[in-house]
Copies of this chain bind each other. A is one copy, B any other.
Amino acid sequence: TTTRGPARCCSAVETKISPLFTLGKKFHLDDVIEAQQFDRDTLNAIFEVAREMEEIEMNPSGSQILKGFIMATLFYEPSTRTRLSFECAMKRLGGEVLTTENAREFSSAAKGETLEDTIRTVEGYSDIIVLRHFESGATRRAAATASIPVINAGDGPGQHPTQALLDIYTIDREISKLDGIKVALVGDLANGRTVRSLAYLLAKYKDVKIYFVSPEVVKMKDDIKDYLTSEGVEWEESADLIDVASKCDVVYQTRIQKERFGERTDLYEEARGKYIVDSDVLDVMQKHAVVMHPLPRLDEITVDVDLDPRAAYFRQAKNGLYIRMALLKLLLVGW
């Protein structure tokens, strides 16, 4: 059991079962496990706190909101971008960080210790755990075990909810609305958990239209299409990026994941060059529209695009900081 006063209020074990959030007199957020756990009100609340975090981050004297709290970043596979973003978030709020960059070779895991046992030990040394794991569902297991909050920083092919949150937050910040937007999801739609989570969250908004633009071998899977249909979200597949880009508010490009093609490098090379965001795409895009990308990018967005103000992907990466600051604040000291 945790013994840190402020943490206790936010990690009540008895409310571990869904709904993970209750909006009332006090906003409750116990763990961050998957994109689906968030409803519109919760998203709005998180985004409101994230906006406050932008102010705090700009303040050179910094913040001490989380002074005295320790975050353990327990990463079973390396992801420096995500890790640095979380660790920066904690430090910008005055908190402390314990890091395990490669917990898979963690002597204990290597010796056969269960994730549950590891969590029971690490929760004794920290106030919140940020978990990156190679197995889908690992965060849910960790959260069920831990008496302190757990944040999913990506678990295998499963979820990466803070990425989904920062994506939606970026659209809101860049386009100033979420209802009624048109979004193109481009590239590797079969393997990218990013676009899958984003599609889930977009379904919470009204009159959203989604275009899927991808090579045949990596097209969006039926489960997401069926989900969108069941939620009344309009979607269509298209092979014409220029046409789609001219209509959309957001062109969300993704990297073709070479590692998923195995020895079929011919298929990879074919898929890779098919839909590139370049100056031709920019030329047809509306003035208020933006290009997004979860990064890292290879050449699926040409570097000349970077100079256009509609290139939002580095601002998007920065928004990850604000979202993670907001989540840490909400999980550790509450609304």
Interface residues of A (CB under 8 A from B): 3-7, 57-62, 67-68, 70, 72, 77-81, 84-85, 87-88, 91-92, 96, 98-101, 103, 105-108, 111-113, 117-118, 120-122, 124-126, 255, 258, 295-298, 314, 317-318, 321
- Say whether A296 contacts B5, CB under 8 Å: no
Q: Select one of B111, B124, B317, B318 contacting A321, CB under 8 A.
A: B124
- Say whether A85 contacts B125, CB under 8 Å: yes
Name 27 A/B residue pairs within 8 A (Cβ), A-sorted. A5-B58, A5-B59, A6-B60, A7-B60, A60-B68, A61-B68, A70-B88, A70-B91, A70-B92, A79-B107, A80-B107, A85-B125, A87-B125, A88-B98, A88-B125, A99-B99, A107-B296, A108-B295, A111-B255, A111-B296, A112-B296, A112-B298, A113-B296, A113-B297, A118-B296, A121-B295, A124-B318
Question: In the assembled complex, which residues on chain B have CB atoms less than 8 Å from the CB atom of A321?
Answer: 124-125
Q: Which residue of B lies closest to A88 (CB)?
A: B125
Q: With contacts A296-B108, A297-B113 known, is A4 near B58, CB below 8 A? A: yes
The interface centre, meaning the residue of A96, A105, A122 with most chain B CB atoms within 10 A of its CB, is: A96
The interface centre, meaning the residue of A5, A59, A317 with most chain B CB atoms within 10 A of its CB, is: A317
Question: In the assembled complex, which residues on chain B have CB atoms less than 8 Å from the CB atom of A6?
Answer: 60
Q: Which residue of B lies closest to A111 (CB)?
A: B296
Tell me, rounded to whole Å, the shortest Cβ–Cβ distance linking A155 to chain B: 15
Tell me, rounded to whole Å, the shortest Cβ–Cβ distance linking A170 to chain B: 13
